[in-house]
Structure 1
Amino acid sequence: MTTTATQPVPGGDLVSARRRRAGRWTFDKASFMAVFLGLPLVIYLVFVVSPFAQAVYYSLTDWSGFSPTQNFIGLRNFERVFTDDIFLKSLRNNIVLAIVLPVVTLTLSFALASLITVGGSMRGQTRGLKASGFYRTVSFFPYVIPAIVIGIMWSQIYDPSNGLLNGILTALGFEMFESFPWLGDERTAMAATIFVIVWSMVGFYMVLFVAAIKDVPAETFEAARIDGAGRFRIAISITLPLIRDNVQTAWIYLGILALDAFVYMAALNPGGGPNNSTLVMAQQLFTTAFTKGQFGLACAMGVVLAGVTLLFAALVFAVSRLLGGKDDGRR
């Protein structure tokens, strides 16, 4: 019987040596992990996770914010939160903002971005409207103004006695708006506030969508035009699906803004508006902590606000996945 010797695999020893070296902890590998993973993780734990954990702990106490001791009272603060009619009203207002604000802002931003990038002449090369750079600059300008300044400015514009808005409408013949309280009427307070936030944010998200649309090959739009697709069809069936990830990110950021909105609301309606029609959770939290001195209860409100924000982000991701996110795994 002839015994056949096993032939060594060419390069096998070299591959094994490389694998052994890759599994070892060298100084370069350890320093890389420490700087680019360990340090950011420590910073995240100290400045994000730790304060949130402290807020959760304080929400289970009766801490007044200034006393050195806190008495543990369990879930009593959360029971008070969910039985407080004013807080529940502020929660409903936040939900309205989280639904309306992203829809209106992103719709306007996407429409403007489409006009600036691919909304020009249907003949020749794909291009946007003339003077698109001017429109982009003018639309983006409100975003560079601090939110508190925007709130103060628009509160003066909405002023029922000497406001610019009522003055213009009255000059145009609408006498019923001579002294109309836009922020003092329950029917218009929330709508007027939403308009201010949309006005301040639409330019930023327009620029975001412009950058995303410019990454789409021009041949894609030209092929659609050759097939007879119009501007609206191109925007809905081609542009929007191709920048879906950007829309999802923008939706989450706007939702977080809507679930906070403290600066805008505090500047436009510090007291929460007529019948608390513009009161948001952040305002009620601030009042509870710094006016009433109930920091434990305020922390419970903050925990609820954080939970609603996380739930909103998860809902956006789930909806995006149902509408086409699964395709990303097959690319």
Structure 2
Amino acid sequence: MINRYRRGLFITAFLAAPVTLYLVYVISPYTQAFYIAMTDWRGVTATPNFIGLDNFVRLFADSIFWKAVTHNAALLLLLPLLTIVIALFFAFLLNVGGGGRGAAGVPGSRFYRVLFFFPQVLAVTVVAVLFQQVFRPDGSGMLNGPLMALGLRPVGFLSDPGIAFWSVLGVMVWQAVGFYVVLFSAGLASIPRDMFEAAQIDGAGRVSLFFRITLPLLWDTVQVAWVYLGILALDVFAIVWVMTDQHGGPDFSTTVMATEIYRNAFTYFRFGYASALGVVMFFFTVGFAVLSLRLSRRERIEY
């Protein structure tokens, strides 16, 4: 009994500081955001006026809010799907798809892992500034330069409302793929080589190896990757704010909920309205995580 008491006291002593910091710097701001969302606070008055659900009523009647939600929803579907498909393909090639007995990776797989992971070393703002130059609409742009040299019209990758969103999505996929290639490679490394060798002896090709062995045994890792990428799609801010015209333009064609939160809080000083946006975004994120984990749940495969 005494030993159990001492152990509990020891654990409590170690947890007290981090739990206190978490409550003060994470839980407390969340709680305050819920309250501020029901006020008309503009960031300058000490006692904001309580207005109930008025901010939420205005929010759901705001066309720009629905544009932001639409873009987040599209990212929520496309970013995880494209990133995971591409990352799984490359991870399979680097670890299993090289052919030959023993399911080895392609020649030079170690170098390719470093190459794919390189975008993760760059800060998000650096990536945004870099692709601003790649997408420049004049002859100095990396993509438009060759087009103009061939006598073709430049493409407005970031200035055309019909193309800008897809340009942002492409950059996000480019930056994210490398991390998930490494993540899936780590998962593949934990699968016994004997399973691949046995399947090869039975006549399985690369496609069969992928769909009958690799994907089922990596399903838990894929599930985690889907949730992380979904949260990234809902929480995207820096790339859109730095890379796009008018911080979400042109004509709000790339705006997302995070940029609208920032714009309303620090440009229009409508902190109550921005907090209401944050509350909606919070429930979207939590709902997505819970729904994804439940829908993708399946029996665990032991090996």
TM-score by length of 2: 0.94
Amino acid in the other structure paired with 1:229: A
Count of matched residue pairs: 301
Change (3 A) 1:119 1:330: closer
Q: Does 1:305 align with 2:284?
A: no
| Equivalent residue, structure 2, for 1:235 | 210
| Equivalent residue, structure 1, for 2:201 | 226
CA–CA separation in structure 2 for the residues paired with 1:293 and 1:230: 60
CA–CA separation in structure 2 for the residues paired with 1:275 and 1:29: 58
Change (3 A) 1:259 1:180: same
Of 164, 167, 177 in structure 1, the residue corresponding to residue 142 of structure 2 is 164
Superposed displacement of residue 150, structure 1: 0.5
Q: Does 1:27 align with 2:6?
A: yes
CA–CA separation in structure 2 for the residues paired with 1:214 and 1:118: 10
RMSD: 1.8
| Equivalent residue, structure 1, for 2:157 | 182
Q: Does 1:328 align with 2:303?
A: no
Q: Does 1:153 align with 2:125?
A: no
CA–CA separation in structure 2 for the residues paired with 1:105 and 1:61: 40
Amino acid in the other structure paired with 1:251: W
Contact 2:75 2:169 in 1 (8 A): yes
| Equivalent residue, structure 2, for 1:208 | 183
Of 261, 272, 278 in structure 1, the residue corresponding to residue 254 of structure 2 is 278
1:103-126 deviation line (CA, Å, top 9, x unaligned): 0011101100000000112x2222
Q: Does 1:124 align with 2:101?
A: yes
| Equivalent residue, structure 1, for 2:269 | 293
| Identical positions, percent | 42
1:202-227 deviation line (CA, Å, top 9, x unaligned): 11110010011000000111111122
CA–CA separation in structure 1 for the residues paired with 2:42 and 2:162: 37
Of 39, 43, 48 in structure 2, the residue corresponding to residue 61 of structure 1 is 39
SS in 2 for 1:109: helix
Superposed displacement of residue 25, structure 1: 4.7
1:150-170 deviation line (CA, Å, top 9, x unaligned): 001101110101211111234
Superposed displacement of residue 184, structure 1: 0.9
CA–CA separation in structure 2 for the residues paired with 1:27 and 1:329: 40
Unaligned 5+ runs, structure 1? 1-20
Superposed displacement of residue 329, structure 1: 9.9
Greater C-alpha Rg: 1
CA–CA separation in structure 2 for the residues paired with 1:229 and 1:47: 53
Amino acid in the other structure paired with 2:82: V
CA–CA separation in structure 1 for the residues paired with 2:243 and 2:64: 19
Change (3 A) 1:87 1:128: same
CA–CA separation in structure 2 for the residues paired with 1:153 and 1:95: 26
Of 164, 168, 171 in structure 2, the residue corresponding to residue 193 of structure 1 is 168
126-135 vs 222-231, which moves further: 222-231
CA–CA separation in structure 1 for the residues paired with 2:218 and 2:61: 42
1:45-87 deviation line (CA, Å, top 9, x unaligned): 2222111000001001110012111011001111111110001
Amino acid in the other structure paired with 2:66: L
